Amino acid sequence: MESFADLTLPELARRFRDQSLSPAALAEHCAERHARYAETFGAYRAWNDELAAEAGLAADAFRRGLDLGPLQGIPVSVKDLYGVPGFRTYAGSPRALPEGWERPGPVIEAVRRQLAAVTGKTHTVEFAYGGLGTNPHWGAPRNPWATDEPRVPGGSSSGAGVSLVEGSALLAFGTDTAGSVRIPASMTGTVGLKTTAGRWPLDGIVPLSTTTDTPGILTRSVVDSAWAFRAIERGLGRTAAVPEIDVDGLRIGVPEDLFWDDCSPGVAEAVRQALSELEQAGARLAAAEMAGLDEAFGYFRKGGLTTPEFYRFLREELPEWLESLDANVRQRTEAASQAPAWEYLQLRHRLTELGRQAEALFERLDVLAVPTVAITPPTLAELEPEGAYPRINMLALRNTSIASMFGLCALSLPAGLDRAGMPVGLMLMAAPRAEEKLMAIGMAVERCLGAAYQRLGRAPMLRD
C-alpha cells in the first residue's frame, strides 16, 4: 500500500479532490497502522470500528461533486474529553461520564460537518490534570521514541501525539490548560498549537479550568497545523488569513530567566542550535525580560486558577467522581476546598496584569522562543519513588504554564533530539489572538529548520 508518511494535509486534500487518492484508501492505511501498533503504543481508549464507513461517505461525496470543507476525508483522532456521538466520554476516569457528555460542541461539529473521519478517542490523564501522560486507570501510552524502557508521551493529551507518530491519524485534537497539547507535541516530535483562551469555544469539552482551558491541535508539521487551523476556523464560520512571513528580519525575543533552568542534557543545546540556525538565516534575536515569571510559576505550583475551578466543577457536576480520583490528581485538588474566595479573585487580577505586561513585549518583538519542555520524557520507573511524580510533573509543566497564565497563544515544533535521543520542542509564544501571525512565523521557522521527519528522522520504534 502507498505510504502517506510524507504527504502534508493540503497535499492529501488536493489528491482527494483530483481523484488520485480516495479517503477510503487513506482510512484503510490508518486502520492498518492502528492494528499494527495498538498493543505496543496504546494511543486509544476507543477505536472507531466504523472508520471505513465514515471515509466511504467522504469518498462518495467527492464522487458526487460535494465538497463540504477542507477536512473532508481527513482521519482525525479526538482526545477523550470531547463529546463525540457514538463514543462514551470517560475523561480518563475509570467509568463513563453521563451520556450528556457525548454531545459534540462547536469544534467537533465543525469537524463533523466537513465529513472528517474520526479514528477514535485517544487517552488522556484523568480529567486532564497532569503533564506527563500517566493514568492509573488506563495506563500510559508508550512514547514511540523510547527504545529502552517505556517513557511517557507527555500529557494530558497523552494519546494524541502517539496517534500521529504511529500513523493511525493525521490530525489530533487535544486540549491545553497549562501545556497539555504542547508537552505531548514536544515529547513525541510533533507540532502542537495552543490557541488563545476564548478563541475556540469550550462547549462539549469536559472542563478543567474555565479560565485557561483551550481546545488545540497536534499535527505532523506546521504546514499541517496552519492548514487545519484555517479549516477549523472555516467550520466555525470565520475566515483565517495566514500571511507570508520570512525568517529574514524576524524579531525573536529570548527570555533567559526560568525557562532554561534545570534542563535535561541536550534540551537547551537543541533549542539554542535551532535559534542559531534561525539567526544565521536572518532572524534577529534579542533578550526579552518577562516580568513576574517566578511569581506566576509560584502561583501555578500552588494550584493557580485550575485547582479551585476544577474542584468547583467536580463538586457541582460529578461529585461521585471525587472518591475515585487518581491520587496524583486528588492531592492537587484537596486544598481547593479550604482556599478563601478573595485569594482566587486576587490571583485572577494579578495574572491579568502580568499578561498585559507580557503582551506589551510584542510591540517590539514578533515572537518569544524558549524550550517547550525542560526535561527528557521520563521513564515510568523514574516516576515510581515517593515524591518523584509531583516534582517531575511540575518541571514538565513549568515552561508551558507561563503562556497559559499570561493569556498568550503558543506553538511547539521540533528543535532536535536530546542526549537520550528523545525529541525536544521549541516553543514560540505570540500575543493573544495572534494565531494567524504565529502560524505564519511557525511555517517560516519550519522552512528553515526542516519539518519534523526531516529534522528528527523517524521514531526508532517505527523504523522498519
pLDDT range class, residue 464, cuts 50, 70, 90: low
390: its cell numbers: 509531583
Please indicate whether residue 157 is annotated as part of the active site.
Answer: no
Candidates 241, 120, 204, 179; CA nearest to 370 is 179
Question: What's the order of all strands across the beta sheet hosting 191-194?
Answer: 44-47, 117-122, 75-79, 171-176, 214-219, 191-194, 409-417, 423-430, 367-371, 251-254, 284-287
Q: Where are the alpha helices (DSSP H) in 281-376?
A: 293-301, 306-317, 327-333, 341-360
pLDDT range class, residue 341, cuts 50, 70, 90: confident
- Please tell me which residue, 273 or 332, carries the higher pLDDT value: 273
- What is the CATH architecture of 9-462? Alpha-Beta Complex (3.90)
The pLDDT mean for the chain works out to 96
Identified catalytic residue from 77, 168, 180, 186: 180
In whole angstroms, give the CA distance from residue 238 to residue 387: 46
227: its cell numbers: 492548514
**Bridge partners, residue 194, by sequence:** 216, 410
Q: Give whole-number Cα distances, 425 to 66, 83, 205, 373, in Å.
A: 39, 29, 26, 7
State the pLDDT at residue 1.
Answer: 41
113: its cell numbers: 460537518
In whole angstroms, give the CA distance from residue 100 to residue 309: 20
Cβ atoms 138, 324 nearer than 8 A: no
Mean pLDDT of 78-107: 98
Please indicate whether residue 156 is annotated as part of the active site.
Answer: yes
Q: Read off the pTM.
A: 0.97
Cβ atoms 79, 174 nearer than 8 A: yes
pLDDT tens for 228-277 read 999 999 999 999 999 999 999 999 999 999 999 999 999 999 999 999 99
**Percent of the residues in the chain that have a pLDDT greater than 90, as a whole number:** 93
Mean pLDDT of 116-142: 97
Q: Among 141-150, 222-231, 327-336, 370-379, which stretch is predicted with the lowest mean pLDDT?
A: 327-336
Identified catalytic residue from 22, 77, 93, 156: 156
Helical (H) or strand (E) element with 41: helix 23-41
160: its cell numbers: 494524541
* CB neighbourhood size of 280 (10 A): 10
Please indicate whether residue 302 is annotated as part of the active site.
Answer: no
Identified catalytic residue from 22, 79, 163, 186: 79
* N-to-C CA span, the chain: 15
138: its cell numbers: 488506563
Does the pLDDT value for residue 436 go beyond 80?
A: yes
Side chain identity, residue 436: E
Mean pLDDT of 73-97: 98
Side chain identity, residue 343: E
pLDDT tens for 208-228 read 999 999 999 999 999 999 999
pLDDT tens for 10-55 read 999 999 999 999 999 999 999 999 999 999 999 999 999 999 999 9
Mean pLDDT of 334-344: 80
Q: Length of the chain in residues, anyone?
A: 464
State the pLDDT at residue 189.
Answer: 98
Domain ranges for the chain: 9-462
311-317-319 Cα angle (round to 5): 65
pLDDT tens for 288-331 read 999 999 999 999 999 999 999 999 999 999 999 988 888 877 77
